[in-house]
A and B are shown apart, each in its own frame.
Chain A
Amino acid sequence: MKRIGVFVCHCGTNIAATVDVKAVAEALGHEPGVVISQDYQYMCSESGQNLVKNAIKEHNLTGVVVCSCSPRMHENTFRKAAASAGLNPYLVEIANIREQCSWIHKDIASATEKAIILGKAAVAKVHLNSPLTAGESPVVKRALVIGGGIAGIQTALDIAEAGFDVDIVEKNPTIGGKMAQIDKTFPTLDCAACILTPKMVEASQNEHITIHSFSEVADVKGFVGNFTVKIKKKARFVDETKCTGCGLCTEKCPMKKVPNEFNMGLDNRTAIYIPFAQAVPKVATIDPNHCMMLSKGKCGICSSVCSAGAIDYKQEDRFIEQKYGAIVVATGFNPINLDKYDEFAYNQCPDVVTSLELERLMNAAGPNGGTLLRPSDKTHPHKIVFVQCVGSRCDDSKGKPYCSKICCMYTAKHAMLIREKYPDTEVYVFYIDVRTPGKNFDEFYRRAVEQYNVHYIKGMVGKVTPRSDGKIDVQASDLLANEQLHIDADMVVLAAAIEPDKTARPLATMLTTQMDTNDFFTEAHPKLRPVESATAGIFLSGACQGPKDIPETVAQASAAAAKAIGLLVKNSITCNPCVAHSDELMCNGCSSCEKVCPYGAITYIDKEFKMPDRTIAVRRVASVNPAVCQGCGACTVACPSGAMDLSGFSNSQIMSEVDAICK
């Protein structure tokens, strides 16, 4: 007979305010096998844990039930406590009477009743618990960084610094990401390229870093310490190893009317192109949608001018497979599509631009060589209106519910830069409220208002109408003066909300990590584990986790790197012993479990069985590799004959829990 101890936690008032903990301890004390049942203020405190340890020794406990918070929070704490008292840690069960009970109930009577039922279920389960021993699995000492923006680059550099090999997978032909498109950075107004491009070069020259540009992650298998990733190296129709980046091909290419995505489509590039002068790797890429040779088989000029012989029209997508111990996601962000915002006339008027387009318009490497000109008639604008929160802080049907965080600051930067360079220009900024939390941020914004005389107007722009005389009528409200305004603007700049990159959602599915409703990756815990995903071995870097400015992104990138290094320095990690196993007498060898196993933990062996008539039959049966199995349980539900079972969460344990709840 089991000797079970039940420990009910008050969790201060978190539990005790809504659950009568004494009544729970009393009721569970009468359950079969329970020899001691008590409550305590903070079970996870040192004295709380000592209570459990002493009870295990004094009462010779063979099972422990802790009624407390979610097992995610403190299961490990109590397992460790039990282990130190000589009890196998897997004989400890947690009944979650906080998140699943006290926090969601208001009525003490019903919450108490539910807490008792949850406790009874845990007691019923612990009756069937058996001691489990954890194995170990080795760690592959190589990291993968998905995304080659500033976040990915910084993470890779930091991991490489610690001496581990890192691969960067970047879907674009060059690394650099959004930061490469930016002109100046706030709050110091230093040139983005000046601080980013050395890092790009450093990454490309670091012996520990391999850059897979123009590549995508196609498949992820495995688990923490041992991921197997398939990387699709998209055909760029140029041999990376031969191309010297001389750019002759791009000069000679006759197809010169392809919108240049690096300049936000404000000018054109050729069908064979190098995204920008400091691109890393600096190799050309052919855009197959516009290349005459690839689409019609006529042309071939780039091939004939290339002295390195790097052009290869027959190149195909290649797949490489690599093993990694840790994966860092750094997929970044994009401005939202503004097609839905007719009121701002973004699609009707070329002089209504997004902030990122303005960055390119003002950039020395941009379409106008650094002179701010209206896209429509290339004249100098004298009145510019900035509109904040376009698509941010909206209701769900229109835009994004969240604050995109960086727009207030970059708009202040834009306004300031324009006033500095063109003092004859009037600049208006329409805002809901100005958000400047960050070191030297508010000072920066106040400089824009006080030193540079930017007109900050609290209120929203209602309608933007392009007029026939080339001016743009901006109709807005000034909420402080309580009046309607009409401004004859030359240019309107929209601070578009930012959203996660479109590749993030399918990637999250491959990585089995969680996302929030806005498709930002969810951290394992906002305060305790802010740069880890809930999936072990997968870390988050930069704006893939939420809107971030550059300083924050770099800080988080380094934090994610530190976490990844912490994993990579280990030679092995302790496996979860709650793994699947098959009942060979029941197994059909049908392969259902093998097919659903996301970790490739299941293989088949031919095994001899003695039949009832004393003959020997050879049968194909499933065999689980416990070092690879992650205990997800997919196989147990896929098995048509119920031969698969999960240690620690066996069918009989779960059934007995259900029984206890239904009783």
Chain B
Amino acid sequence: MQEAMINKAKQLLADGTVSRVIGWKRGEFAYDITPAVFETAEELDKEFVYDDFTAANVSKYLVKESKKEGKILVFLKPCDTYSFNQLTKEHRVVRENVYIVGIPGGPKLDAEKIKAKGITGILSVKNENYTLKIDTVYGEEKMPFYEAVLDKCASCKSKKHVVYDELMGEEGDVLDSNRFDMVEKLENMAAQERYDFWREQLSKCIRCNACRNVCPACTCEKCVFDNPDSGVENKAPADSFEENMFHIIRAFHVAGRCTDCGECSRVCPQNIPLHLLNRKFIKDINSLYGEYQAGEDTTSRAPLNDYKQNDCEASVVHERGVE
């Protein structure tokens, strides 16, 4: 795949379709893949990477990149195309300045899950018939592929690209992914039990803002959390209010616009399952206003930005909150 992508990129650079390519390159470690922009064939040959760890959704980088001169080539996995559509809908990317090549998606791997097995000093990882062969400084280790799959890929919502200029490989389907199972489990908990669950999770937050920075729905010019007067500007949480509220406020801000790409949970260094907050919103919006998938298209009106005669009354929402 990687080779095919490099060839495609080189070809589009050579014929002048695009002047830049956004992709990924290797970071410090084998599992540490980071987004990068390439301008020449040489750079592509040398650094361009696409493997089982290339999970990062690069669509948000296009907010800035698409406004620069010239067209940029981007490789989007199915999940990333939803984010891209949502950004287009919100006029955050200049669609004409982007050439999209749809590429098959995951499942991608989570290095944390490999490390959790006690495997450290990872040098390289190979997938052979769904068994991972992991070369470490301490020798070779093996583990089943599916035990190391990222959470977001384990409940993948779609293998279908919702936007592209060109597709590599075959078009997949929208999946029935049981992605609300965990949300339902939380809903069925008693209030105190649920509160304890979230307190335990959210108290781990170090306010690094990684979730905010990676989120394709978080694209405000000025973020509320950057306001020095707010008292919650980039810093470790000082009190439990902040610990509780930062993520809830963030989830509210992306409600109805979150494409459920799962990047927030993926980048969280503290492994907080942040996507569950967003999924709770998605599930509620679906049940109150009808099925809606943010980013599915660029024309429909988001349920929270729309008013229909059959919308539920406010009292319905209120009654649901009463326990």
Residues in chain A within 8 A of chain B (CB atoms): 506, 509, 585-592, 595-596, 598, 604, 617, 619-620, 638, 640-643
Contact = CB atoms under 8 A, between A and B. Distances in A.
B220 A641 contact: yes
B305 A596 contact: yes
Given A590-B219, A596-B305, A596-B306, 15 more contacts: A585-B221, A587-B221, A590-B90, A591-B89, A591-B90, A591-B91, A592-B305, A604-B91, A617-B67, A620-B91, A638-B304, A640-B253, A640-B254, A641-B222, A641-B223
B194 interface: no
A620 B219 CA distance: 13
B224 interface: yes
B113 interface: no
Interface centre among A588, A590, A640, A642 (most CB of B within 10 A): A640
Contacts of A598: 307
A585 B304 CA distance: 24
A316 B68 CA distance: 48
B281 to A, nearest CB: 14
Nearest to A505: B309
B309 A506 contact: yes
A331 to B, nearest CB: 16
Contacts of A590: 90-92, 219
A604 B92 CA distance: 13
Across the A-B interface, give the 6 residue pairs with the lowest CB-CB distance, nearest first: A641-B220, A590-B90, A595-B305, A586-B222, A589-B91, A509-B309
B60 interface: no
B301 interface: yes
B257 interface: yes
Considering residues A506, A585, A591, A641, which has the most beta carbons from chain B within 10 angstroms of its beta carbon? Answer: A641
Nearest to B301: A595
A640 B87 CA distance: 13
A574 to B, nearest CB: 28
Nearest to A591: B91
Interface in B289-315: 301-302, 304-307, 309
A638 B91 contact: no
Given A640-B220, A641-B220, A588 B90 contact: yes
Nearest to A510: B309
Given A620-B91, A640-B253, A640-B257, A586 B220 contact: yes
A622 to B, nearest CB: 11
A643 B224 CA distance: 11
Interface of B: 67, 89-92, 219-224, 253-254, 257, 301-302, 304-307, 309
A638 B306 CA distance: 10
B306 A588 contact: no
A586 to B, nearest CB: 5
A554 B208 CA distance: 70
Contact of B92 (A588, A638, A642): A588
Contact of B221 (A506, A588, A596): A588
Nearest to A641: B220
Nearest to A596: B305
A586 B223 CA distance: 9
A640 B257 CA distance: 10
B219 A588 contact: yes
Contacts of B305: 592, 595-596, 638
B238 to A, nearest CB: 21
A506 B220 CA distance: 36
A619 B220 CA distance: 13
A512 B134 CA distance: 64
Nearest to A589: B91
Contacts of B224: 641-642
A84 B221 CA distance: 43
A506 B222 CA distance: 39
Nearest to A584: B221
Most chain A CB within a 10 A radius of its CB, from B257, B301, B305, B306: B305
A99 B306 CA distance: 32
A588 B307 CA distance: 22
B301 A588 contact: no
A26 to B, nearest CB: 34
Contacts of A640: 220, 253-254, 257
A408 to B, nearest CB: 36
B220 A588 contact: yes
A588 B221 CA distance: 6
Contacts of B221: 585-588, 619, 641, 643
Contacts of A591: 89-91
Contacts of B253: 640
20 contacts: A588-B220, A588-B221, A590-B90, A590-B91, A591-B89, A591-B91, A592-B90, A592-B305, A595-B301, A595-B306, A596-B305, A617-B67, A619-B221, A620-B91, A638-B305, A640-B254, A641-B220, A641-B221, A641-B222, A641-B224
A409 B221 CA distance: 68
Contacts of A620: 91
Nearest to B255: A640
Contacts of A585: 221-222
A181 to B, nearest CB: 29
A659 to B, nearest CB: 14
Nearest to B91: A589
A274 B162 CA distance: 51
A613 to B, nearest CB: 13
Nearest to B87: A590
Nearest to B227: A642
A150 B178 CA distance: 58
Contacts of B67: 617
A585 B220 CA distance: 10
Nearest to A586: B222
A268 B137 CA distance: 92
Nearest to B90: A590
Contacts of A617: 67
A588 B90 CA distance: 8
A604 B91 CA distance: 11
Contacts of B304: 638
A216 B91 CA distance: 35
Q: Which of A509, A585, A617 has the most CB of B within 10 A?
A: A509
A116 B311 CA distance: 38
A590 B220 CA distance: 9
Contacts of B307: 596, 598
A479 B59 CA distance: 80
Contacts of A642: 224
A620 B93 CA distance: 11
A358 to B, nearest CB: 36
B217 to A, nearest CB: 8
B282 to A, nearest CB: 16
A477 B254 CA distance: 65
A444 B67 CA distance: 81
A160 B194 CA distance: 66
B184 to A, nearest CB: 28
Contacts of A589: 91-92
Contacts of B92: 588-590
A587 B220 CA distance: 8
A256 B38 CA distance: 76
Contacts of B91: 588-591, 604, 620
B17 to A, nearest CB: 24
Nearest to A642: B224
A590 B275 CA distance: 23
A595 B306 CA distance: 7
Nearest to B89: A591
Interface centre among B91, B224, B302, B304 (most CB of A within 10 A): B91
A580 to B, nearest CB: 15
A586 B219 CA distance: 11
Contacts of A588: 90-92, 219-221
A509 B306 CA distance: 13
A598 B301 CA distance: 14
Nearest to B94: A620
Contacts of A592: 90, 302, 305
Contacts of B222: 585-586, 641
A592 B306 CA distance: 10
A192 to B, nearest CB: 35
